[in-house]
């Protein structure tokens, strides 16, 4: 009884992992089709994502 339950759980985990891998590859292929390589030339304006710094930054000793 206990051994069969463990084997069933292991088989279900393998099935879930296989389905996750297929879903990930499907999503990756869809994303790769829509994505195009970015090309920039000198003088192009581009947005830069900058996150705020955490904490207080001190340049001198107190």
pTM: 0.52
The contacts of residue 46 (CB under 8 Å, 6+ apart) are 40
Query: pLDDT of 10-62, one tens digit each?
Result: 999 999 999 999 999 999 998 888 888 888 899 999 888 888 777 666 777 66
Nearest CA among 56, 58, 40 for reference residue 48: 40
């Amino acid at each position: 009884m206990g051994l069969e339950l463990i084997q069933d759980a292991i088989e279900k985990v393998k099935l879930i992992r296989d389905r996750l891998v297929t879903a990930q590859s499907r999503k990756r292929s869809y994303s790769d089709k829509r994505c195009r390589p970015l090309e920039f030339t000198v003088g192009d304006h581009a947005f830069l994502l900058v996150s705020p710094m955490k904490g207080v930054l001190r340049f001198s000793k107190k």
